[in-house]
Structure 1
Amino acid sequence: MLLEVSGVSVTFDGFRAINNLSFQIASAELRAVIGPNGAGKTTMMDIITGKTRPDTGKITYGRPGKNLLKMSESAIARIGIGRKFQRPTVFENQSVFDNLVMALKKNRSPLDVAFYRRSQEDIKKVEDLAAEIGLTEQLHRMSGELSHGQKQWLEIGMLLAQDPKLLLVDEPAAGMTPEEREKTTDILRKAAKTRAVVVVEHDMEFVRRLNCRVTVLHEGSVLAEGSIDHVTKDQSVIDVYLGR
């Protein structure tokens, strides 16, 4: 396993947002996480990335297992956990090329940054990333000129440029056209061949296209887990989520 969450709970002002949550993610796996509003999906990602500290439980990452609960947000990012929020955040006044170059995994000391010179290896990495996210023809456009879907792909590319081993993606299909959703599915499935990708999503048709294991959260716990066909036929899932 790449990530193991064991017995994690967290309470905010008397509200139990995560309740004895336990699950595992393999090192090269695509996983979808679904559930009603308030199920704990965002809090789960906050805990994994160090933004929120749980009251109880344990989270281990990698081999040998590192205890994420003893690490800062920046340290967690450096060991290979990346997160994409629902709203794309790119440098709109910079080109697609420059956004990807800035995101490449490099030493970030002031001296390294001051004397950085773009190498042929860096250019090749950016070109490969652009091809992977479908933005080869947009490389020299200003990022602010891209469509919403293209900005989402660019941000995914910027995260992939950091070579994460675990990528957390929040509602990537939101606001996309059907064609953009299809392309996003392809990008995420390809990325999951070499790393773990966890997708939090509400669009059930998008989740079905991902064709992966699905974890259903409810009231901060795992309600059901399995294929999309398995969880959508689970009566408890229908009652608390799909039936709405």
Structure 2
Amino acid sequence: MSALLEVSGVSKSFDGFKAIDNLSFSIGEVELRAVIGPNGAGKTTFMDLVTGKTRPDSGTIRYGSLSRSLTGMSEARIAQAGIGRKFQKPTVFEDQTVVENLVMALKSPRNPFSVLIRRPPQRDRAATLAEQIGLDDALDRRAGELSHGQKQWLEIGMLLAQEPRVLLVDEPAAGMTTAEREKTTQMLVDAARTRAVVVIEHDMDFVRRLNCRVTVLHEGCVLAEGPLDHVCADPRVIDVYLGRDDDA
């Protein structure tokens, strides 16, 4: 499997604190990956580095078949290149309807003339996306009226509308009902059939449902990697993240 995103020897410090320490790992072109680890492990900083919000002190981040360097590229250029990010708190246009949110997010020419002549196809594409994210019966509802879980789905749909090759998702299951979590799991699994999807998550039950390769971060570097049962059996992961259930 060829790597779509490759992080090599990346380090990043903030006021003397090393948030990322010689981090190296890669994500395949079509892959679902979960990234777990204790608070302060470097998970958010990793996403900041990949998306250009933060610059690495050293190391390289390469992306795509030509292995272009993301270092030095702006956040906007990285997004345009095909890397999308969903933050933990859903960010949608609450005064706009579901379909309006999706239409605004669609990857298409951004000029007044193109909007005028492409409006019906855009709504059709938005309706197809709404069906994929389970909101096809809420097209004309204002986003502000949706439940927390539905807003999460809408934001995922808005990112999918951009046709990203890499989708970074931060704690998508937080605050969801059991039914919403099950639907979110399927949504991410489906999305990963055609792109790379990286999920940062603390909920181990949710990670297990994803049934994917897991990377454990600790103190800014990879502590363990592999199937969930494999990393959960690693004594180092137990010590720093999962904890022990010792009777003595």
Shorter-chain TM range is over 0.9
Deviations 1:148-175 (A, max 9, x none): 0000000000000000000000000000
Question: Match for residue 115 of structure 2?
Answer: 116
Work out whether residues 24 and 221 of structure 2, in 8 Å CA contact, stay in contact via their aligned partners in 1.
Answer: yes
Question: Match for residue 194 of structure 1?
Answer: 194
> Given residue 197 of structure 1, which amino acid in structure 2 is its aligned partner?
V
Q: Which runs of 5+ in 2 are unaligned?
A: none
Question: Match for residue 99 of structure 1?
Answer: 101
The DSSP-based 3-state class of the residue aligned with 1:69 is: coil
Deviations 1:193-233 (A, max 9, x none): 00000000000000000000000000000000000111111
TM-score, with structure 1 as normaliser: 0.97
Question: Match for residue 154 of structure 1?
Answer: 154
Q: Which runs of 5+ in 1 are unaligned?
A: none
Question: Match for residue 3 of structure 1?
Answer: 5
Question: Match for residue 185 of structure 1?
Answer: 185
The DSSP-based 3-state class of the residue aligned with 2:62 is: strand
**Alignment RMSD:** 1.0
User: Equivalents in 1 of 2:179, 2:114: separation in Å?
Assistant: 42
5 Å-filtered alignment, 1:1-244, equals 1-108=3-110, 112-113=111-112, 116-117=115-116, 118-243=118-243
Work out whether residues 22 and 221 of structure 2, in 8 Å CA contact, stay in contact via their aligned partners in 1.
Answer: yes
The DSSP-based 3-state class of the residue aligned with 2:29 is: coil
User: Equivalents in 2 of 1:43, 1:114: separation in Å?
Assistant: 40
Runs of 4+ residues over 2 Å off in structure 1: 118-121
- Sequence identity (%): 68
User: Equivalents in 2 of 1:30, 1:149: separation in Å?
Assistant: 21
Comparing 121-130 and 150-159, the one that deviates more: 121-130
